[in-house]
Structure 1
């Protein structure tokens, strides 16, 4: 199991970076963050951080993975990375609120990965990709909010898996736009 270190500090207090023997955390900017946490599981690490200054807020995260298959019904998979497991996955989400309106985005990405554990024995590399989601929300009154969101704003093509015969692949969803009205009663 992993251990989770988390700190939530008052705005006027600075947070000190945890001391980690393997040197994973040596970033000098961590002391400026208002909220951060580190999760370390068997050689893999996750870092989450957030910062707020007035109406601006930014949150981000990074997961680093160095996994390998330790047992399988197929001995050829042992010692290899698990299927479709990227070395790094990241996200960065800034938001800004002005008056009754909030706007924001999320940049989400992954490094390349292999899709190799198949019946046919063929191997494919799933390329790295980054996509952007954006949103806006406007509060008309205390009970009504208008929302607009665009997922995969740049219509990025990002493959998440390939089938056994390598004749088809699954991608992330293309650009989608949603408009909504939220009413609280």
Structure 2
């Protein structure tokens, strides 16, 4: 019978040694999986950031189109007023942007281009500013179609400076577009 107890003692000793090795195994597994999990987390954060930019720019386009829809009744509504409303309503996406038409500008963590397009009920010609549409319309611009658009691209992983190392980050394309009839 003493041999059975020796065998049990050896098994217990072997189990104790094996249980001491398992915490190190868990640490190695964590070290292998942690970078993958962190990359997935950063990807989700970037996706959320892109969605925030998209929603805020779309909201800004709607607000700008609402202001622009009053252009036939209110002569103080100009391209600058419409674009300023666009920028203000698109916070935080377009922070630092200026009310300039059809030229790319660096602001809000990306490159943005704003455009306004007015089209008469007949369908042509189209005008790229409220002032040009007013000047060409002998009977006013009531009933015209106003489209306000912003196109931009936002860097992935915003805040990381990689240009010095010669690296570039991917871009998320974002667009806000709204159409209304001028009253």
Radius of gyration: which is bigger? 2
Q: Same fold (TM over 0.5)?
A: no
TM-score (norm 2): 0.27
Which is helix-richer, 1 or 2?
2
Per the normalisation by structure 1, the TM-score is 0.27
Between Structure 1 and Structure 2, the one with more strand by share is 1
- Greater RCO, CA 8 A, separation 6+: 2
